[in-house]
Structure 1
Amino acid sequence: MSGVVRRHELSDAEWAVLSGLLPSSGVAGRPRSDDRVVLNGIVWKLRTGSAWRDVPQRYGSWQTLYTRFRRWALDGTFSRMLKAIQAQKDAAGDIDWLVSVDSTIVRAHQHATGGKRGPSTGTKRGDHALGRSRGGLSTKVHLACDGRGRPLGIVLTGGNANDCTRFEHVMDAIRVPRTGPGRPRTRPDHVIADKGYSSRKIRAYLRRRGIAHTIPERADQSANRHRRGSYGGRPPGFNRITYRHRNVVERCFGRLKQWRGLATRYDKTRESYQATVTIASLFLWI
């Protein structure tokens, strides 16, 4: 694709990184639409939060864009691209393994609330990471990011899910492959989280894995421990200076929500919205 790079389109540097990660067609016959044009159309749609039918004609048929987006979402192409970039960054020593964990609520637009049957999900709203919370139907994005505010692990649930019940799922989602031989890296050096993750189960999980952590104790837990006296045990260790770095995950959410198609959920299925979050995360890495 030549000419002036328009708003929301891939720069030459971004395309140079992504072009080598896209799958080949692998099918004989008529050549498929240019990958850069299609990816520009997908990015434009997700950046603006527009409907597929409203994507400018310069990116080609909106049916082609949607079909390619849906195919790559279902076959894991976007996830593999993200993992490949993370592996390259880790090999270059460009990942800060001071990991922060938190979640954010995303309101579901009325177009997203009629989730249809997908190839791997049912028809219930919960199967598509939709749940009813105080603000109505919503999705909760649980996230672990590195010390520079780039997503390492992502889990989607309904908006009514409790943060601490998904902590281990988020930690399990951290799998940074090696560029050479060896198992993916799954263990951070240190984990920071807010009071919503203060529980004995989470602290025991982190100790079992040998992961240092900084999680403040809730007021009710502290009061209960004092009430039990010597039987209440020692207070958990807490480093205020380390805890100041927790706002990196808030800044990460702020950057992700600059994508309007992520800040408000328009996708009916879990796979499509997961792909939206993955694409936005991919651009934070590159």
Structure 2
Amino acid sequence: MMGDLVPDSLWERVEPLLPPRPPRRHQHPGRRPADDRAALTGIVFVLKTGLGWNQLPRELLGVSGVTCWRRMRDWTEAGVWPAVHEMLLAELRAAGALDLDRCAVDGSHVRALKRGDHVGPSPVDRGRPGSKHHLIVEANGIPLQVSLTGGNSNDVTQLLSLVDSIPPIRGLRGRPPHLPRELFADRGYDHDKYRRMLRARGITPRIARRGVVHGSGLGRHRWVVERGFAWLHCYKRLRTRWERRADLHLGLLQLACALICHRRLTAL
């Protein structure tokens, strides 16, 4: 189980980024803490299967769901998942598996059953409480950055923050790029104000216009973001938002992005 969900190649990258544990007391040290790799296995198990934290099979993983949730909380607050994601992106670029000249962006609604931060009435789900995943991918569909907002937020309002938050991707000599040359998006991003802001950043916007018949040809390049969402939502915990805390749901999104990058890297 541990080797399947957290293979050695993934654990070797994650372990150095984990925050150090507080030193144990000499007197009355208490119970020995659970193994970090077992806790990460439990987190990935929840992410893939969609089970609740209290439903984790302790006899199979050797660690309780409460412990996995606490490690998830601590590692999310320590910024472990974006660091792992950035490291794997650099390795993919070094392997020539990233095309950063052309990117695509989109948003996807999910229902939020426990409410919490970044939750709003979803216009595509009869006003039920929901959240929205915002994703930007490179030309092959590999996720570069992801964010979380309320279900009633407009896609275009998150465009610039999503683009600006793409990390500088190392892996090759020279200044690491973090902005694409072209950005593809659907009609939900059709605002001339944001086109001007993208051009000011040196990005050529390829955004479909409202009221224009279909057949612009942009779909030949934009479809990869839909595949990126399909890869993300293969992790069942992301199809519905169960976490009240927005940072924990965003942490699961970032972990899923890192797992997608690791899967692509091992397939090379």
Which range, TM-score by smaller chain?
0.7 to 0.9
CA distance in structure 2 between the partners assigned to 1:280 and 1:148 by the alignment: 17
Q: Is the alpha carbon distance of 1:42 and 1:189 closer, same or farther for their aligned partners in structure 2, counting shifts above 3 Å?
A: same
Aligned equivalent of 1:84:
87
Aligned equivalent of 2:266:
none
Aligned equivalent of 2:247:
271
CA distance in structure 1 between the partners assigned to 2:201 and 2:45 by the alignment: 41
Aligned equivalent of 1:64:
67
Aligned equivalent of 2:112:
108
CA distance in structure 1 between the partners assigned to 2:78 and 2:98 by the alignment: 27
Report % sequence identity: 33
TM-score after normalising by structure 1: 0.79
Aligned length: 250
Q: Is the alpha carbon distance of 1:47 and 1:4 closer, same or farther for their aligned partners in structure 2, counting shifts above 3 Å?
A: closer
Work out whether residues 106 and 138 of structure 1, in 8 Å CA contact, stay in contact via their aligned partners in 2. yes
- Residue in structure 2 matching 1:255, options 214, 219, 231: 231
Aligned equivalent of 2:180:
188
SS of the residue corresponding to residue 154 of structure 1 reads strand
Note the alpha carbon deviations across 1:198-250, whole angstroms, 9 max, x for none. 1111110121111123112211xx69xxxxxxxxxxxxxx972x541211000
Aligned equivalent of 1:152:
144
Mapping 1:1-286, distance limit 5 Å: 5=3, 9-25=5-21, 27-28=23-24, 32-57=33-58, 58-59=60-61, 60-97=63-100, 98-109=102-113, 112-113=114-115, 115=116, 128-134=117-123, 135=125, 136-178=128-170, 185-219=177-211, 240=217, 243-286=219-262
TM-score after normalising by structure 2: 0.84
Work out whether residues 155 and 173 of structure 1, in 8 Å CA contact, stay in contact via their aligned partners in 2. no
Bigger radius of gyration among the two: 1
Instruction: Decide which moves more: 180-189 or 152-161.
Output: 180-189
Q: Point out where structure 1 has 5 or more consecutive residues left out of the alignment.
A: 116-127, 224-237
CA distance in structure 2 between the partners assigned to 1:215 and 1:268 by the alignment: 34
Q: Could you list the runs of 4 or more consecutive aligned residues of structure 1 that deviate by over 4 angstroms after TM superposition?
A: 3-6, 28-31, 179-184
